[in-house]
Structure 1
């Protein structure tokens, strides 16, 4: 809910004034978590041309 459409939700407006926009903050954290997971789960470098392609490092 944004400021533009909260005029019909005075209780929500009061809560936002008192506690901050917790829903928006949670949404930003969730979006960052999704980006982090997407990056962590990106195994495309393993299959890049000239890459190791699954070769295990030697145990030296």
Structure 2
């Protein structure tokens, strides 16, 4: 990245190669997230954000109410 840069070389010598360490950590976290999220992408997983196709007769339907007991 910063080739032939004595200032950058000195910073790396003093503080370590922070950009490289950050990139490695980001790649590690990305791999862990892929492993964690993989079961959610399996064929048996139901995504709650996707509604299933409505079935015929599904939804609100008028039904008769049973009579309530009469008070005595």
What's the TM-score bracket when you normalise by the shorter of the two chains?
0.5 to 0.7
Structure 1, unpaired ranges of 5+: 48-52, 55-60
TM-score, normalised via structure 2 length: 0.52
| 18, 29, 50: which one aligns with 1:33 | 29
Structure 2 CA distance, aligned partners of 1:10 and 1:45?
48
Q: Which runs of 5+ in 2 are unaligned?
A: 46-72
Q: Select the structure with the greater relative contact order (CA < 8 A; seq sep ≥ 6).
A: 1
Aligned residues: 45
**Superimposed CA distance per residue, residues 5-57 of structure 1 (whole angstroms, 9 cap, x where no aligned partner):** 621x221111001111111011000000000001110026843xxxxx36xxx
Larger radius of gyration: 2
- TM-score, normalised to structure 1, is 0.61
- The residue number in structure 1 matching 2:3 is 6
